[in-house]
């Protein structure tokens, strides 16, 4: 009896198990029918997700070109190599094969893979040539891939480095105009759907989801030949005088276009990020300094604008110094009784100080504001300094008179060049730009046109080697065949809030040709290491070389042919008795 019950119980359990198995089989069959017939798209989607990938299409970054069409920054196609550490078999054979092609240390590669073993993506190298990329592809190793990118290349190298700037490894602007116009230059990457095999190689391009949109080209106002000339002259001058550094700016006063901007020391933008790092600064727009005697131009303009002085007005500078408040103003020598022309020619601190002490301080401050001091130019260059223009309700007399000959005010080389464009352009200042202009520009009237012309002729007397001009400070800035106007400057280098160092800055700012001004050039040589520290001896000859070459490059005809024969010409202003 018990045996029969046991057999029936076992038979019951057997059929239960069979029934369950049949139900499972039936469910599987029904699911297969559903997926293959009713919802076939699901299987297709799952298969596609295993072999279809969306990959980026790199966008071409726009070129940067000079005004004369010379490429200053271009993007060239390169390969980059990346690895999925979870797919790549990091055995000895694979490590050696990859590292030998990419010229990297096997130990370094192994450590990199070990350190990032949890990741799905790490770059091994960027910006390699196509040949190396093809060799990696030919290895047919799972988990290692090539990717096309663009590498930025700068054909002019150090010559245009401070203006053009550079990009990082991801082709994004990091400095200079590359940074300022990054949104204009960079393109928009595209996207395409591809089929990859088990090794990750693209075996078919299925569809382009979105096309890459290339960046736009940027045409600068720089003249490539003038830029190169300026670079050569500045480099030679700094080397000759063992100076710490130097900057030079060439501007078209009628448009505000920068034709050249050079700093030295410089760097190679094709290999940035190596020390010393202070050479990456565009000193012409970032570094401030006290302009010294180059500021006397505007102090004299202030005196003439007041109507109390004429070019022939005499000022007694005896005995070559005088006490103002708690300070002493002095000249290098006693110039005696001299007129305004001679004050500018001989760069007399006493003369310019005595003239402006008869005028309200705010008159000079207002003029300097109109000329753009104390604020950035319109250039839009990253990191440009504002400069420092003091404004006080009450002036200590000595603070005011030192301002008249260029102390107590901080400027940049670009600001100084911009201010002199007003004298060259009938009193108007055009917005400074690094871009080539295609349309007329609106310029601001900073100075009366007649006053600007009068100052232009006065500055010509500083440079012109006339018989009555033997003691002028700027004759070495002369350019044979051309009428040149300009002003020298020498200033002590400030030591923060602790007075001054023993070093000097030497400067020259000039305009040519006087008959129809086309160029303004400002140059500063910082801390020359010798006994000759005057701007007229160091900076003026450098100016002359840059100006002479630039005028030839631009085919600007001479306007003073008699000077080619060495003839000294007379001044258009009456001499003081």
DSSP 357: H
* Among 277, 274, 169, 215, CA closest to 60: 215
Sheet holding 52-57, edge to edge: 52-57, 190-196, 202-210
- Rounded to whole angstroms, the Cα distance separating 396 from 394 reads 7
- Rounded to whole angstroms, the Cα distance separating 469 from 480 reads 17
* Among 377, 502, 391, 358, CA closest to 431: 377
Q: Does the active-site annotation cover 247?
A: no
Q: Are strands 64-65 and 218-219 parallel, antiparallel or unpaired?
A: parallel
Q: How many CA atoms lie within 13 A of 95 on its CB side?
A: 14
Q: Are strands 485-494 and 337-339 parallel, antiparallel or unpaired?
A: unpaired
For residue 169, how many other CB atoms are within 10 A of its CB?
Answer: 12
φ/ψ (deg, to 5) at 22:
-65, -40
Which of 221, 247, 293, 563 does the annotation list as catalytic?
293
- CB-CB contact of 423 with 452 (8 Å): yes
- CB-CB contact of 434 with 252 (8 Å): no
| Block residue for tokens 């045996």 | 3
DSSP 35: I
* Among 352, 357, 374, CA closest to 365: 374
Residue 8's DSSP bridge partners are: none
Q: Which residues are catalytic?
A: 293
């Amino acid at each position: 009896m018990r045996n029969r019950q046991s057999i029936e119980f076992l038979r019951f359990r057997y059929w239960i198990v069979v029934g369950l198995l049949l139900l499972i089989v039936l469910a599987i069959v029904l699911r297969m029918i559903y997926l293959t017939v009713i919802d076939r798209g699901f299987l297709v989607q799952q298969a596609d997700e295993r072999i279809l990938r969306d990959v980026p299409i790199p966008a071409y970054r726009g070129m940067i070109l000079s005004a004369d069409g010379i490429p200053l920054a271009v993007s060239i196609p390169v390969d980059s190599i990346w690895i999925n550490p979870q797919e790549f078999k990091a055995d000895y054979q694979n490590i050696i094969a990859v590292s030998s092609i990419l010229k990297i240390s096997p130990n370094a590669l192994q450590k990199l893979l070990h350190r990032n073993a949890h990741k799905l993506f790490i770059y091994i190298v960027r910006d390699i040539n196509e040949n190396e990329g093809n060799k990696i592809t030919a290895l047919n190793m799972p988990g290692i891939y090539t990717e096309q990118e663009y590498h930025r290349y700068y054909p002019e190298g150090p010559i245009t480095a401070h203006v053009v700037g550079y990009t990082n490894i991801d082709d994004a602007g990091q400095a200079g105009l590359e940074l300022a116009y990054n949104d204009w230059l960079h393109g928009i990457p595209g996207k395409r759907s591809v089929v990859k095999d088990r090794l990750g190689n693209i075996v078919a391009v299925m569809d382009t989801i979105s096309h890459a949109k290339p960046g736009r080209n940027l045409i600068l106002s720089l003249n490539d030949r003038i830029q190169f000339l300026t670079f050569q002259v500045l480099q030679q001058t700094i080397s000759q005088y063992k100076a710490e550094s130097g900057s030079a700016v060439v501007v078209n006063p009628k448009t505000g276009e920068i034709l050249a901007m050079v700093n030295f020391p410089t760097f190679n933008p094709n290999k940035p990020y190596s020390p010393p790092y202070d050479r990456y600064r565009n000193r012409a727009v970032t570094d401030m300094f006290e302009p010294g005697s180059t500021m006397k131009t505007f102090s004299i303009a202030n005196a003439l604008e007041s109507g109390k002085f004429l070019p022939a007005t005499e000022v007694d500078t005896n005995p070559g110094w005088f006490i103002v408040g708690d300070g002493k103003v002095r000249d290098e020598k006693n110039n005696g009784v001299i007129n305004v022309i001679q004050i500018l020619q001989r760069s007399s601190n006493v003369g310019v100080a005595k003239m402006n002490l008869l005028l309200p301080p705010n008159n000079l401050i207002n003029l300097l504001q109109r000329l753009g001091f104390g604020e950035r130019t319109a250039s839009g260059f990253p990191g440009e300094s504002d400069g420092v223009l003091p404004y006080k309700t009450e002036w200590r007399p000595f603070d005011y008179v030192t301002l008249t000959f260029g102390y107590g005010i901080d400027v940049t080389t670009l600001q100084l060049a911009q201010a002199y464009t007003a004298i060259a352009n009938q009193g108007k200042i055009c917005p400074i730009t690094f871009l080539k202009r295609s349309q007329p520009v609106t310029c601001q009237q900073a100075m009366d046109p007649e006053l600007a012309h009068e100052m232009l002729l006065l500055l010509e007397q500083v440079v012109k080697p006339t018989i009555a001009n033997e003691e002028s400070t700027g004759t070495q800035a002369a350019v044979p065949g051309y009428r040149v106007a300009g002003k020298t400057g020498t200033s002590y280098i400030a030591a923060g809030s602790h007075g001054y160092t023993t070093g000097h800055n030497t400067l020259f700012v000039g305009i040519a040709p006087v008959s129809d001004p086309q160029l303004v050039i400002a140059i500063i040589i910082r801390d020359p290491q010798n006994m000759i520290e005057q701007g007229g001896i160091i900076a003026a000859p450098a100016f002359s070389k840059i100006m002479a070459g630039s005028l030839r490059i631009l085919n600007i005809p001479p306007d003073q042919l008699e000077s080619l024969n060495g003839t000294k010409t007379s001044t258009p202003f009456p001499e003081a008795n």
